[in-house]
Amino acid sequence: MTTQTRHVRIALVQQRWHPDPKKHVAALRRSAHRAAEQNAQLIALQELTLHRYFGDVMDRALFALAEPLGDGPTSALCCALARETGAFIVGSLFERAGDSSHPRYFNTAVVFDPRGNLCGFTRKQHIPSGTGYEETFYFEPGDSDYPVHDLGFIRLAIPTCYDQWFPELARIYALKGAELIVYPTAIGSEPNYPSFDTQPQWRTVMLGHAIANGVFIAAVNRTGREAMVTFYGSSFVCDPTGRILAQAPRSRPAVVVADLDFSVMAFWRALFPLLKQRQPATYRALLDPSQSA
């Protein structure tokens, strides 16, 4: 792949949750086809693509939503959309792994190729716990070891939502060769602090990851109110200089399309060769679990 002359078009499908499953799937399908009509090569869907964001409650009955990797309703939808659109599809599901005697549960992002084949997955590493976001009740931390998926036209990383806040993760992906980090997301209001809007901080921390690591970053959030959380949309794509290439509104569904120009990555990494100028021998404190605020 020639970095200097390469261009890739991606799309983010920002959608609200529809209580009627058929309407929800239809809305996602319409948006994915809109993205394909604009020649998107990669189309990304929101966290827990098919479901209401259920992290606001702790309910054992909701474990019935978990599905095996590559063999469940979310995988079936992503497979179908990939075939229909001719694009790579990134989705997100509540994964059931292990066996019946020792089941394991993860929040997992998946990518399907245009033939409908599962070609990569990544289990969410950082799991939030707090009012409105009680995810540790459902998911264990991922064990994927930060994979980078080579799709032929781009090297892709697909961590999920809360992983956005951790600079170590973005750095690892960049060192492993990721060019684009896509975060399927479900984030919005803080029920304990309803007057505090975290959207600016959420976006800014990811812009910092892009700049510090010389990568493209995309976050595809949901929108609308679900129980106690109002999701703030604002899905966006930025380039390695932190420039916003495209952004969705806060309060309505949207299809965000952006063109990634890899000459920008080459320019920025030459101007600020941060990955080459690290001094990892001095970073021992990062590996010391006792070093916490």
- Read off the pLDDT of residues 83-104 as tens digits, 9 standing for 90 and up: 999 999 999 999 999 998 899 9
pLDDT digits (tens, 9 = 90+) for 63-73: 999 999 999 99
Asked if residue 272 is part of any domain, the answer here is yes
List the CATH number of the domain containing 8: 3.60.110.10
pLDDT digits (tens, 9 = 90+) for 124-173: 999 999 999 999 999 999 999 999 999 999 999 999 999 999 999 999 99
Asked if residue 173 is part of any domain, the answer here is yes
* Catalytic residue of the set 79, 119, 124, 179: 124
* Catalytic residue of the set 78, 79, 119, 161: 161
3-state helix, strand, coil in the chain (%, to 5): 30, 30, 40
> What is the rounded average pLDDT for all residues in the chain?
96
What the block records as the tokens of 285 is: 């404190």
Asked if residue 186 is part of any domain, the answer here is yes
Number of domains in the chain: 1
Catalytic: 140?
Answer: no
- The whole-angstrom separation of Cα 210 and Cα 98 is 35
* Catalytic residue of the set 47, 95, 135, 179: 47
Asked if residue 274 is part of any domain, the answer here is yes
Q: Phi, psi (5° rounding) for residue 51? A: -115, 160
- The whole-angstrom separation of Cα 147 and Cα 178 is 9
By residue range, what is the domain housing residue 269?
3-287
Residues 6+ apart with CB under 8 A from 158: 90, 109, 110, 111, 120, 121, 122, 149, 181, 182, 183, 184
Asked if residue 292 is part of any domain, the answer here is no
Asked if residue 293 is part of any domain, the answer here is no
pLDDT band, residue 4 (cuts 50/70/90) = low
Catalytic: 124?
Answer: yes
Catalytic: 238?
Answer: no
Asked if residue 163 is part of any domain, the answer here is yes
Cα angle 86-10-261, degrees, rounded to a multiple of 5: 125
Asked if residue 48 is part of any domain, the answer here is yes
